[in-house]
Structure 1
Amino acid sequence: MKIKLNLDTSNTYVLAVSGGLDSMVLFDLFLKYKHKIVVVHFNHQKRSESVYDNELIEKLCKNHNVPYHYIKLNIKKGNFQDSARQLRYQFLEDIATLYRTPYIVTAHHLDDLAETIIMKLIRGSNLLGYSGMQKLTKIDEFVYLKPLLDYSKNDLETYKNTFNISFLEDSSNLEDDYLRNRIRHHIIPILKEENNILSHFKNFSNQAYLASDFIRSESLKFLPTNLNFSLQKFLELHLSIQYDVISLILEKVDAKRSNTKIEMILKQLNSTKPNIDITLSNNHHMIKSYDRVYIINISDEFYKDKPNHLMISHNKVGLPKKYIELCYNKLNFPIQIRKRLPGDKLQFKFGTKKLKDFLIDKKIPKKSRDDLDIIVDSNQTVLWIPGIYKNETLGSNNIIYLWIKE
């Protein structure tokens, strides 16, 4: 079988070359197609024989006048596989930046795709994760390419035998210490006996990716940059898009994602309770308030809700000239700032009054009412409206200090 790269010969490509069969076939193909390349080799310092990988690759690069970068990784703590992957990406992107190219190439092939999909199914993922990997992936300003993804390990073996490609076998690939190796050695061979399984994995990957890409495009259309949205409009979305909107929010606030967590959030949003505070992470909460859903960011010392910059302190040190004291016995934190909502009520010592009626009595112009900052706790009790109202019915045991940062 003839292996084609189908890449623009005018670009410069950064190749990750390990010295194994896959990456050495990739290296040879780029030389044959006369692409401008830079080769990067990582020594994970896990095998004494890794020095021979460096010697083999360095010699080939010198023979073909190819720029070569040899990098030793020093990983002593944590998940070795994950840490190594992140460090490789970091160095590859640094080298791509050095050569002013966005293109980074790895030697992943069709068997790798099947292994990745099985790993995702075992560990759990979302629809995009279940698609495995794509031939082209953009990460920030970089473009990761996998031109061998249409070809099987057998195809690469055939190419190696045909053109007598030199390579070195990584002995750690023969062990069963890692999940990928166990899948490669024990599961994939059984599946290959049953059917043309690799082509089915490829079709599954393509379909899962296309479905995921469409759903994500719909999620991005729905979700504004401030992550605030109408609950009614959200519940009108297809359930698959609802799932992805919540997943997208969790991504943006850097919170852990799981199907269980997403289903819990959806259950809360479908609840008949008008006001709910949902914890997304240590610093982020999702607030459901009647028809509005929004995200707030909290910290140990104060809570902020940008762009209005509500500031809160529990002591009087370092306060600005303009602030208010709010006395209370108990408050439902976090406190946040929002615009007025239908049904808002104010509390007075004589009883309650609708905010709408209060603003009319105060002769606040109609066009200004929707611009007012309304400070509330997580139960949506109105605490303060700057220049207009302060809640004085909350008790006197504790004091906090509120101000709007200019």
Structure 2
Amino acid sequence: MKTIVKDFILKHNLFTKDATILVGVSGGPDSMALLHYLHSLKDEWNFRVVAISVDHQLRGEESLRDLRYVENVCKQWKVEFIGKSVDVPSWKKEKKQGTQVAARTLRYAIFEQQMEQLGANYLALGHHGDDQAETMLMRLTRSADSQALVGIPVKRAFAGGSIVRPFLCVTKEDIWNYCEAHNITPRLDPSNEETTYTRNYVRHHILPLLKEKNSNLHTTIQHLSETLAIDQAYITEEAENMVHSVVQFDQEKQELSFEIDQFKTYAFALQRRAYHLILNYLYIDLPKDLSYVHEEQFFALLHRQTGNAQIDFPAGLKVEKSYNQLRCHFCDDLHCSSSFHKHIKIPGKTILPDGSAIIAKYVDAFSEETKDSFCFDASQVALPLHIRTRKHGDKMHLKGLNGSKKVKDIFIDAKVPRRKRAIWPIITDDHGEILWLVGLRKASLAKRSTSTSQIQLYYEKCNM
């Protein structure tokens, strides 16, 4: 297995020498084997290896014991260790998310934070070839978009570095054999055996049947994933060139248009990818109720013989055909562009015009921050707090930046559509200092004091 993994690392240029590697370790066989393997390369590659374990608080003392197990093994192996706990049960209840989505959200927030603090080059995760097969099979049953079949990437950008997965070339059985050969006794999560989760059902009932037909299935699927990724990258690049040539963007009105006959001169594969690029431009986050049905409606509209027609997409997007021109724009309802200004109740819940809310409360200790939460001392701000839409000339002080930056430039850098900028919630203190572009950027505040009340803000998105 060592030789297979090393060849895989070299083939994909997963690491560079003298790198700092943060390794996500749960205590299970995959992550423990990965930690051991990378630690064994420490001297040869001059790695700094740091293990990080996150207790999701889903199994009480049992999950905490997993974290302590990892910590003790790291002491034996002389590996740096970071342990963190996150409150997944509370988060999933508050955000109305499933257990696995909530756990992943909080876990990756911790990973990102620690990557930045360590200046780490890589976050190494223990996904293996069977995980890849499970992922692609699950997506095959759920998605009609070929891009979804690319699977788990071997390497992708993350937190100023890269996420890498060196074990995608081996199976779960290979990893168990590695653990036995190196006297590693991993911890086991009983939830991995519960077939109520779709992934576990695929793992226990579907994958074994396919392996009966192809014992080397993990290698076949990994090769398919990599070739699909290469093909998708090429098509996307060509589609970007097509969009640049064909589509006219009106940044003031945040809309676009194109000549239908010119659009249809390109291969349909490029038309489809151009359609998805257009949606990514128009939406900040793709709506959950956007599906392949809308894609079919879009192309049916392009081929419609009547002169004028319109279809409605989620979140107020209008797609209008006027003879040979197609125009995409958002609704012009007054409520879509109206400004607001409210005081934030602490403790309390402040409802915004779009149905979203800011939840504010005093807390005894700071919790892990995400893009939808913000923690600070009351001494760092002038109370009461306000939430409002932007004003001309708004500026804010950002972490790591000398001086201030215009809010307008922050929106441009983040590629926030103009139609969203006018209604974006901005939290200020009573002196007008901008503290938080909600969900986007946080201000650099004065040094925290432990002698005053601590305030926690949460942004609750509208589920309508």
User: Given that residues 37 and 67 in structure 1 are in contact (C-alpha distance below 8 angstroms), is that contact kept between their aligned partners in structure 2?
Assistant: no
> Which residue, 32, 52, 58 being the options, matches 2:65?
52
**Amino acid paired to 2:149:** Y
Gaps of 5+ in 2: 250-255, 338-464
> Which residue, 6, 9, 12 being the options, matches 2:17?
9
User: Given that residues 122 and 164 in structure 2 are in contact (C-alpha distance below 8 angstroms), is that contact kept between their aligned partners in structure 1?
Assistant: yes
Q: CA RMSD in A?
A: 2.2
**TM-superposed deviation, 1:65:** 4.3
User: Given that residues 113 and 201 in structure 1 are in contact (C-alpha distance below 8 angstroms), is that contact kept between their aligned partners in structure 2?
Assistant: yes
> Which residue, 169, 190, 196 being the options, matches 1:150?
169
TM-score under structure 1 length normalisation: 0.69
Q: Distance in 2 between matches of 1:198 and 1:247?
A: 30
> Which residue, 70, 82, 85 being the options, matches 1:68?
82
Gaps of 5+ in 1: 305-406
Q: Distance in 1 between matches of 2:327 and 2:118?
A: 43
**Amino acid paired to 1:283:** G
What's the counterpart of residue 362 of structure 2? Answer: none
Q: Distance in 2 between matches of 1:69 and 1:166?
A: 20
What's the counterpart of residue 356 of structure 2? Answer: none
Q: Deviations over 1:80-102 (max 9, x none)?
A: 21222222222211211112235
**TM-superposed deviation, 1:141:** 4.2
Q: Deviations over 1:332-361 (max 9, x none)?
A: xxxxxxxxxxxxxxxxxxxxxxxxxxxxxx
User: Given that residues 16 and 106 in structure 1 are in contact (C-alpha distance below 8 angstroms), is that contact kept between their aligned partners in structure 2?
Assistant: yes
Q: Distance in 2 between matches of 1:245 and 1:293?
A: 14
What's the counterpart of residue 233 of structure 1? Answer: 262
Aligned pair in 2 of structure 1 residues 201, 104: CA closer, same or farther (>3 Å)? same
User: Given that residues 150 and 226 in structure 2 are in contact (C-alpha distance below 8 angstroms), is that contact kept between their aligned partners in structure 1?
Assistant: yes
**TM-superposed deviation, 1:297:** 2.9
What's the counterpart of residue 208 of structure 1? Answer: 228
> Which residue, 206, 212, 221 being the options, matches 2:241?
221
Q: Distance in 1 between matches of 2:266 and 2:257?
A: 15
1:33 and 2:41 matched: yes
Higher helix share: 2
> Which residue, 255, 263, 267 being the options, matches 2:286?
255
User: Given that residues 301 and 309 in structure 2 are in contact (C-alpha distance below 8 angstroms), is that contact kept between their aligned partners in structure 1?
Assistant: yes
Q: Distance in 2 between matches of 1:13 and 1:297?
A: 44
**TM-superposed deviation, 1:285:** 2.3
Q: Distance in 1 between matches of 2:324 and 2:137?
A: 41
> Which residue, 217, 232, 236 being the options, matches 1:197?
217
Question: What does residue range 297-376 of structure 1 map to in structure 2 within 5 Å?
Answer: 297-298=330-331, 300-301=333-334
**TM-superposed deviation, 1:223:** 1.9
1:127 and 2:160 matched: no
Q: Distance in 2 between matches of 1:140 and 1:232?
A: 42
User: Given that residues 116 and 159 in structure 2 are in contact (C-alpha distance below 8 angstroms), is that contact kept between their aligned partners in structure 1?
Assistant: no
User: Given that residues 228 and 293 in structure 1 are in contact (C-alpha distance below 8 angstroms), is that contact kept between their aligned partners in structure 2?
Assistant: yes
**TM-superposed deviation, 1:184:** 0.5
1:43 and 2:55 matched: yes
Aligned pair in 2 of structure 1 residues 187, 235: CA closer, same or farther (>3 Å)? same
Q: Distance in 2 between matches of 1:8 and 1:199?
A: 25
Q: Distance in 2 between matches of 1:80 and 1:93?
A: 20
Question: What does residue range 273-284 of structure 1 map to in structure 2 within 5 Å?
Answer: 273-284=306-317
What's the counterpart of residue 29 of structure 2? Answer: 21
Q: Which shows bigger deviation, 113-122 or 26-35?
A: 26-35
**TM-superposed deviation, 1:156:** 1.0
Question: What does residue range 68-217 of structure 1 map to in structure 2 within 5 Å?
Answer: 68-75=82-89, 76-77=92-93, 78-138=97-157, 141-195=160-214, 196-217=216-237
**TM-superposed deviation, 1:152:** 1.2
**TM-superposed deviation, 1:39:** 2.2
